[in-house]
Chains A and B, each alone.
Chain A
């Protein structure tokens, strides 16, 4: 009984452990290069848009489907904002708003076909993928549009203001320190609250040492991460966007009725419908939301590159889908968490980054990523079957 429960807990954090192990392997292979302040910063910048997309994709995966149109929608929205800024001289906020609205429109388009007409999401989003990519080429006349102004690029490559302080000859950012402190306090408080709640209702609680190790690992990661960012250039704006989105969607999926409805629909659509859940509405909002997040990712990507290119976002849908599955989501739907998808995205990101640092070609990188996806899902399913 007890050993079973502990096993489950270890599995829950299996991917976090894998994340740390992968990081350590590349730390050794690259001679410590992947832990330099600059590289930690790069990790955030490079993976920001994948994390954003994985968050949206998880909702699609929870319904038992995927959105293949993600990469193309990212390209379309990036192109829209670049064209509005460079060709029409519109103010940046308006261009951003327009890009997000275009993303939303694509989502509504997909959602309408899927929910109102009952066309399978695979078909609808495959069509979106083709249409979106084609339209991007048309709009950009198959050329890169840039350079975008610096104030726009700050979204993808800028930092929060810093307050540099000196301690013992070290210069670092006070904001990072405060954020790390706040995160530590919040983590401990939430763990304490859930511990007390479990005791109150007589649920099984993990032994204290386990909780202790878990907290120590998470807090350790946060401080290491924030320290590296602090001695570099402070907190990237992308990180703020990421954190906000992760927080919002984690709350929606775990604490709100609308989130629970997605799980119920993915777990058993017929039962969900007979329980008063408007399944068409759920499908509509899941895909509309995905479009919206594609808009956000499109802005981040074009801002980071300083330009919009017709090939932008190529293959992003596969990265986002892979992140969800690596993070423990079930292909049949109904199982998966936002945090899992984020961890999955980070696993992919750290792999990419580490392999680039040690000079492996992108061809080999694809092979490795494929193997990791297959391995993670196989491990997940086989270990479940044993139980």
Chain B
């Protein structure tokens, strides 16, 4: 009847008086991949939660037409019965259950009276796994033995088993490396051929322009525009402009590098896996970073970058660690996080919620957490006035959007949370700052602000290491980069030769060397 499988009209949703969505319109054509773009907090997830029935009919205003019929879902089950399945950013798998069991969780293949038919379960699991490119996986192994990339595909298989006709993917590649992301995107294109309509929420514009047929941009709870692939405005710059409401001519602020003496040097660093004493995770790594310099650790996910950083940061990862740490040319012993902080090394984790913040506590306590003993206390008694003053100072400096420094960090957006973690480590007055995926999962505007903070720190003469899976980020922010592959330094690339091609070449040639050697 209509070319649109889904029409959401004039959707308005308020949370205690604040409009999260304001007259949003979304039209999705049958069989297309439709991307939903917008900064964090723009309202993308809220819109999808309304569609899938997480926010039941009646808690919002506006109409939803799905396959020509008006929909009034009161919970997720109802929307799933209609073939609308949402895969959330945080994976909803049960880690100790097998692949087959996970595929059919909540949707079990049963014989009579609710008894599970295991033979049929296994047969159908194998069948559906083949569809998502996981043929040959042992379906009885627990899902936690798989990597994140494959787990994401299990989620996809799970959705397929629910007879999906409209699939919603919320940031599906956020935790995947380039290779895994590519694989997932290919699978999406295959699903499209099978007639499944997809809504893709993503920050990664290159992925969107690769798979999407049309894009709807949402900003501050309003739908700004919908672009078709054929249109001349379907460009990254135009999309970004729509998302942030201003022209971001340069996504990476410029920096005048003033590079000084070597601050940190690592010599012949070796680390073994914490649970397997025979598995070498990092081997023979040498690198150095100088004052005022920003260096990058590029590489695929699982290459050992985080493991390298954490093992240097007070042996926070691994066992049987050997090698030398030289600070300002002098050899130092750093065996605990306390030693590391004392020696002015800071590490900002890639996972701010699990490793960076106490979510139930406020901004000021989170900010002083790492520096409490050395900078905020005398004889164990906290100088609470200083704590307040410093927190106010860094709130202003890093432009954190919050009512006050007494606000809980759980209620902040991802970008603001990241700024709190950054401020927490700046307060320890480090000489060396290791930033692990400093802009993961945060929006374009907040990213820019974080790059500005990085530049500012470099200007102050701090030595900075940026670990990132996004190659443009490494290229845009770093003076020099090390490419890490399978626990080795695969190459060192100077600023003028820092391109995506060179990084990839370095990874591939290293991998080739390794497999030839074996």
Cα distance A257–B340 in the bound complex, in angstroms? 19
Identify which of B338, B369, B388 contacts A264 (C-beta below 8 A): B369
- Report the separation of the CA atoms of residues A383 and B319 in the bound assembly, to the nearest whole angstrom: 46
Which residue in A1, A264, A274 is a CB contact (below 8 Å) of B347? A274
Query: In the complex, which residues of chain A have a beta carbon less than 8 angstroms from the beta carbon of B338?
Result: 276, 278
Whether the pair A201, B392 counts as a contact (CB closer than 8 A) is: yes
A275 within 8 A of B: yes
| Segment among A85-93, A147-155, A222-230, A265-273 that sits at the interface with chain B | A265-273
B322 within 8 A of A: no
- Tell whether, in the assembled complex, residue A203 and residue B406 are in contact, meaning their CB atoms are under 8 Å apart: yes
Q: In the complex, what's the smallest C-beta–C-beta distance from A337 to chain B, in angstroms? A: 13
Query: B360 contacts the other chain (Cβ, under 8 Å)?
Result: yes
CB neighbours of A264 from chain B (8 A): 358, 361, 365, 369
Q: Considering only CB atoms, which chain A residue lies closest to B338 in the complex?
A: A276
Query: Is the Cβ of A263 less than 8 Å from the Cβ of B361?
Result: yes
Pick from B316, B359, B392: contact of A274, CB below 8 A: B316
Do A276 and B381 have beta carbons less than 8 Å apart? no
Residues in A200-254 with C-beta less than 8 Å from chain B: 201, 203-204
* B contact residues around A272 at 8 Å (CB): 358, 369
> Given A203-B404, A256-B382, do A274 and B358 touch, yes or no (CB 8 Å)?
no
Select which of A201, A260, A273 is within 8 A of B372 by beta carbon: A260
Complex contact B354–A268 (CB within 8 A): yes
Residues of A within 8 A of B313 (CB): 274
Whether A204 pairs with B382 at a CB distance below 8 angstroms is no
The reply to whether B380 and A257 form a contact with Cβ atoms under 8 Å apart is yes
A275, B360: Cβ atoms under 8 Å?
no
Does residue A124 face the partner (Cβ distance < 8 Å to B)? no
| Chain B residues numbered 310-333 whose CB sits less than 8 Å from any CB in chain A | 313-314, 316
Please tell me the size bucket of the interface on B.
Answer: 35 or more
Q: Are B347 and A334 in contact (CB under 8 A)?
A: no
Given contacts A204-B404, A264-B369, contact A271 B380 (CB under 8 A): no
Residues A268 and B372 in contact in the complex (CB < 8 Å), given A255-B381, A273-B337: no
Are the C-beta atoms of B359 and A267 separated by less than 8 Å?
yes
Interchain pairs with CB closer than 8 A, number: 81
Residues in chain A near residue B359, CB distance under 8 A: 267-268
**Chain B residues, Cβ within 8 Å of A197:** 385
* Known contacts A201-B388, A276-B340, A276-B341: A267-B361 contact under CB 8 Å: yes
Q: Select from chain A the residue with minimum beta-carbon distance to B368.
A: A260
**Does any Cβ of A come within 8 Å of B152's Cβ?**
no
Determine if A256 and B358 form an interchain contact, defined as CB atoms under 8 angstroms apart: no
- How long is the Cα–Cα vector from A273 to B369 in the complex, in angstroms? 11
Q: How long is the Cα–Cα vector from A261 to B371 in the complex, in angstroms?
A: 12
Residue in A closest to B373 when the chains form the complex, CB atoms? A257
Whether the Cβ atoms of A274 and B337 lie closer than 8 Å is: yes
Could you give, for residues 324-364 of chain A, a 1 whenever the CB lies within 8 Å of some chain B CB and a 0 otherwise?
A: 00000010001100000000000000000000000000000
Min distance, Cβ A247 to any Cβ of chain B, angstroms: 14
Asked whether, in the complex, the Cβ of A276 is within 8 Å of the Cβ of B388, the reply is no
In the bound assembly, the distance between CA atoms of A185 and B358 in angstroms comes to 36
Q: Does A36 contact B (CB under 8 A)?
A: no
30 contacts between A and B (CB under 8 A): A197-B385, A201-B389, A201-B392, A203-B404, A255-B384, A257-B372, A257-B377, A257-B380, A258-B380, A260-B369, A260-B372, A260-B382, A263-B358, A263-B365, A267-B359, A267-B360, A268-B354, A271-B354, A273-B337, A274-B337, A274-B347, A274-B349, A274-B355, A274-B356, A275-B337, A276-B314, A276-B337, A276-B338, A278-B338, A334-B358
A258-B380, A264-B361, A278-B336 provided; 5 other pairs, C-beta below 8 A?
A: A203-B406, A256-B380, A268-B359, A276-B336, A277-B337
Spell out B's residues near A (CB within 8 Å): 313-314, 316, 336-338, 340-341, 347, 349, 354-361, 365, 369-370, 372-373, 377, 380-382, 384-385, 388-389, 392, 403-404, 406, 424
